Structure 1
Amino acid sequence: MAKDSLVKGTLILTLAALVARALGVVQRIPLVFLLGEIGMAAYGIAFNLYSMLLVVATAGIPSALSKMISERTALGLHAEANRIYRAALLFAGGAGLVMTLFLYGVAPYYADSILNPQATLPIRALAPALLLFPLIAIMRGYFQGRRMMMPNGLSQIIEQIFRVVTSVVLAYMLLSHSMEWAVAGASFGGVIGSIAAAAVMVYYALRLRRTDTAERAAMNAGADRTQEGVATSSLAFKTIYSQLFRLSIPIVIFSMTVTLIYTIDSSIVTLLLKDQVGEESAREILGILVGRAQSLAGIPIILAVALSQSIVPIISSAYSQKDMKQVSDQTGKVLQISILSGLPMVLLICLAAGPINEFIFGNPKGSAAVDTYSAPIIIALTISAIFQIVMQTSGAVLMGMGKMRALVLGVIAGIAVKLAASFVLAPWLGIYGIIAATCLCFVVMTWINLSVLRREIKFRVLGARWVGLIVTTAVITAVGIALDWLVQAYVTPFGSPRPDAFLQTVIICAVAGAAYPVLLMLTRTVRLTDLQHMPGPIRRLVGRFAPRLLSGGKEKQGS
């Protein structure tokens, strides 16, 4: 079980997250059809509250654990790293039990307080998943610290497959009983998913134990480092927990930012909009936000999350060894990759929001709110994703460097802006004011993170090439808007909304998606030398369609 590099680890986690996200979007299609916007609102409330408590239950320990494991592994203290892992598992078991009981008990009070009492049963149905997911998260953090990303990626895919199948089947079977029970059945899919993910992680943990045992046996012939590891293996759990919590409390505050924002929205949308549009319409708008927009807006940040998980142990290892050049190089690299890869996804979803929404979700209940609000809400929330991408990756670098105070400061400032702006803008702009408040939150956090990084290290993301990226974005936006109008007006060969929307989506995404790399090359935002440092599969793909690019780059480098 070899260690994964930044690029390989990121690719593994990105592919896994893409598959998992795609399955999650696929899951929403039958659920929207079965449950409608009102049912999806209750489902989204349960899921967002559960997600926030899951972060609290693990107390940021997976990321803190990754940092501590990578540091000790780099220094050869393997036995101490294993003892830290065992201590984290014990904590996760206790925290999962406490949070499960808490979520089950608080469900009716929370649902009543946000004017969505039908969310009580779905929240309680999802509560048992908290028993296993803290343990799964700890195991993922351990493998991440050992720079082994395959177990994490595979467990995400298996978890999502079982979750999707169970959610849809139970929702369909229980719909004849009542809408509330159908939503609860959809929520219970998370419990089945947690069991499947746990099975995958246990398999890899046993496999890694056998590998470590064999390696220790081979090195047991009087190696000094092995003896040093044994000598430090009696590290007290009290000391371990002290170090873990000192790191994890700031991390949990940072890690739960997005989940907390979505939970805030789930809690305040109905309250803030009911006087403007009526309570029933406010719930439908909430269903659109949590059932459609949040699932699509989460796609562009997939690579950023994968990069964040991969970069923390690498930055931690380099920073612990005072290798500041590697810290600077990796910081610039991870920010550049996240921006260049996240931006096209933001553009494609925004430009094709109408056809994408119609094709994936449709309007099975014939709701006027769905026709009016769906595409604009998807566009507005997806725009904020580009700031979330930079916030996520810059925060991960700070996390790897141990700059926890800056993370906490950024989160506090961002959430304060989010709350204040929501209450100020909602009466004026409605749901779009609440989404604008989310975007402002990410902007504030991004600015704070980058400001702190600039004081600590020198790094370069794109330099003068920002102009080319802006030009590329402007051209694709103009072309995409015109193309969206044309295809919706004239490309309707099937005479049926969903097939027509599928064809329109393909045309817009194909043209805009193909134009993005071409414009990056024409504006010299991406150069031939950049292609030389891309992963092998991408170099081979470029070489197949444009072999002269790579050969020309090599010739120029050699000349």
Structure 2
Amino acid sequence: MLKKDNLIRGTLILTVAALTARVLGLFQRVPLDYMLGSQGMIAFTIANQVYMVLLIIATAGFPSAVSKMVSERYALGQPAEAKRIFHAALAFGAITGVILSATLFIVAPTWAKIADLPSAYLAIRAIAPALLLFPIIAMMRGYFQGRQLMSAGGISQIVEQFMRVLLGLGLGLIVLDLGWGDDWAAAAVTFGSVFGSIGAFGVMIWFGRKLKRQDQMEQVKVKPRFNAEASAALMMSSSSSKSVRNSTVNQGSKTKFRKIYREILAMSLPALLTSMTVNLIYLFDTSFFKRLTSGFYTAEMSDIVQADYGIKAISLAGIPPILAIALGSTIIPVISSAFSVNNMKEVQKQASLVMRIVCFTGVPVALLLAIASYSVTGLLFVSPSGSDVVALLTIGTIVQITMMTTNSILYGMSRSKTSMYHTATGLLLKVVISVATAPFIGIYGLILGSTICFIVITMLNVRTINQIVTLRVLGKRWVPYLSAVAIAGLAGWLSERGVLLWTTNLPNKVSYFISASVTAAVVGALYVALLFVFKVITADDLHSFPNKLRKPLEKIMRIFTGNQKMRSK
């Protein structure tokens, strides 16, 4: 029996899945630092960034649109219409997958020349076949998210990463053993994405069949299965609306695909730019790195810095936004359901909750990786070179997280066009600042442009959200919250410096491991403790967490606040 997931449970499922996927992705990139030379790593990075951008174009924001439309139809008691939308999305995914897979294979040599690394065309072509299935998989994930069944997408993501990483690395090692060189090895590793797409597709097919059987068993029920977050509001709808809902429960939808595509495209095309913001930034940086920084770096140093940026910095900077990605996928159908029935109180509650969760969880992870970047980079990779780049890129993910979350909130409020305009403004600033500064300060100019881009988009998004509903994130607790972050960060920085000095005589990897572990323990423990000591987290905040997580946090609160009587819920 497939069960629906509420906001917190759905977020936890997607967070665990995304964290597992990112760890596996990191596991793939770490061996590359040992397996390949600088140009091989650059080729792998370029191929992945080109692929990711084209994959988003292939789906054109369809997963989020499908999720939103499906959740609205089920909230209004129109399951047949929701399934018709799903079938239309699958057809679109199949067609665009074939077209873009062939296109990427053909243009691979041209893009490799643009990136000033002609040999990268092998890696780009090797990843092209993965586009055949991933658009279809994305549509299926969007449908399951709209049905609030997050486990389907989560499990498929984990299976995809396992097959992509393990089979890709295995194939790469075989190619290196045959003596074919770095260019073919990079192509072999990227071909792992094809294996991943096959595994993920198999998982989605299994969930699809199981959900189909479950729906058939429930067809005898006249009463539609409403979203939990919207059911209260729907009960207060007018009697005429009820009759419309009941009349559509058991009827098949005859809506033409053309009409469905118009509705989906109206929502998905504006969301396209916001969905691919980070990927566009990384594609811009990796493709034009040498051209923009040629006057700042020597040819040899340029290869080293670009390889560090693509393999080390981008992979580690992908860890802090994991929660925001999960929250974005979960919050869209929840806010959309409430917004569709004009339940603005629920919209305000969920939007404020998701921003509060981001502050409590996403910020310290980014802070920790930035502070301990030297130890973490040295521990995972061949050397700690590029740790300064890792630190700057990861600290910038704090505003990247808020940008992604506010984009999702606006999407759920049917303000995707507004979000698109904000994103376009931020990306324009990114390009201008990068072009103006990279020739003089190298990679730091590219990162500066990205950070300013995230900040501007976030500010514009928050302003728009507050015009619809007032976000109540922390209120008067901002000062103690920032104090807790600053104190924990300073303590972590001093801990890392001290441990590195204390372990100078130990082997490097041992020193890096001890330093990273101590820093994580200091930052984590002090951060959590200060949140309670400064009363940043309240009893009401804890009640929004799942029971298994709430109980230990309540015990911690009692320790630091002396409050022996906690309300239970």
Same fold? TM cut 0.5: yes
Corresponding residue for 1:329? Answer: 349
Is the counterpart of residue 431 in structure 1 residue 443 in structure 2?
yes
Corresponding residue for 1:192? Answer: 195
1:452-491 pair list within 5 angstroms: 452-491=464-503
Which range moved further: 24-33 or 256-265? Answer: 24-33
Corresponding residue for 2:107? Answer: 106
Is the counterpart of residue 139 in structure 1 residue 152 in structure 2?
no
Corresponding residue for 1:362? Answer: 382
Moved over 4 A (4+): 218-221, 223-227, 543-551, 555-558
1:78-477 pair list within 5 angstroms: 78-175=79-176, 176-219=179-222, 225=245, 227-231=247-251, 233-363=253-383, 371=385, 374-477=386-489
- Match of 2:133, SS? helix
Aligned-pair CA distance for 1:555 = 4.9
Contact 1:543 1:549 in 2 (8 A): no
Aligned-pair CA distance for 1:434 = 0.8
Which range moved further: 524-533 or 79-88? Answer: 524-533
Q: TM-score, normalised by structure 2?
A: 0.93
Aligned-pair CA distance for 1:530 = 2.1
Residues 220, 316 of structure 1: alpha-carbon distance in 2 compared, 3 angstrom cutoff? closer
Task: Tell me the amino acid that sits aligned with residue 430 of structure 1.
Answer: G
Corresponding residue for 1:525? Answer: 536
Contact 1:251 1:407 in 2 (8 A): yes
Corresponding residue for 1:367? Answer: none
Aligned-pair CA distance for 1:96 = 0.5
Q: Deviations over 1:166-217 (max 9, x none)?
A: 1211111111211111000110001100100000000000000000011114
Task: Tell me the amino acid that sits aligned with residue 193 of structure 1.
Answer: G
Decide which of 535, 538, 543 is 2:546's aligned counterpart.
Answer: 535
Q: Deviations over 1:479-507 (max 9, x none)?
A: 122212111111246x3211221111101
Q: How many Å separate the matches in 1 of 2:124 and 2:565?
A: 58
Task: Tell me the amino acid that sits aligned with residue 535 of structure 2.
Answer: R
Aligned-pair CA distance for 1:551 = 9.2
Aligned-pair CA distance for 1:545 = 6.0
Aligned-pair CA distance for 1:95 = 0.4
* Structure 1: 5+ residue stretches without partners: 364-369
Residues 172, 269 of structure 1: alpha-carbon distance in 2 compared, 3 angstrom cutoff? same
Aligned-pair CA distance for 1:544 = 6.0
Corresponding residue for 2:17? Answer: 16
Q: How many Å separate the matches in 2 of 1:91 and 1:347?
A: 41
Percentage of identical aligned residues: 39
Count of residue pairs the alignment pairs up:
548
Q: TM-score, normalised by structure 1?
A: 0.95
Residues 548, 28 of structure 1: alpha-carbon distance in 2 compared, 3 angstrom cutoff? same
Which range moved further: 115-124 or 472-481? Answer: 472-481
Contact 2:4 2:147 in 1 (8 A): yes
Corresponding residue for 2:69? Answer: 68
Corresponding residue for 1:366? Answer: none
RMSD, aligned CA: 1.9
Which range moved further: 83-92 or 476-485? Answer: 476-485
Which range moved further: 383-392 or 421-430? Answer: 421-430
Q: How many Å separate the matches in 1 of 2:472 and 2:319?
A: 26
Q: How many Å separate the matches in 2 of 1:455 and 1:177?
A: 59
Q: How many Å separate the matches in 2 of 1:36 and 1:473?
A: 38
Aligned-pair CA distance for 1:269 = 1.1
Task: Tell me the amino acid that sits aligned with residue 293 of structure 2.
Answer: L
Contact 1:472 1:516 in 2 (8 A): yes
Task: Tell me the amino acid that sits aligned with residue 81 of structure 1.
Answer: A
- Match of 2:536, SS? coil
Residues 343, 101 of structure 1: alpha-carbon distance in 2 compared, 3 angstrom cutoff? same
Residues 557, 22 of structure 1: alpha-carbon distance in 2 compared, 3 angstrom cutoff? closer
Q: How many Å separate the matches in 1 of 2:566 and 2:7?
A: 28
Q: How many Å separate the matches in 1 of 2:70 and 2:473?
A: 29
Q: How many Å separate the matches in 2 of 1:286 and 1:377?
A: 10
Decide which of 495, 501, 507 is 1:496's aligned counterpart.
Answer: 507
Q: Deviations over 1:341-376 (max 9, x none)?
A: 10110111011100100110123xxxxxx63xx111
* Structure 2: 5+ residue stretches without partners: 225-242
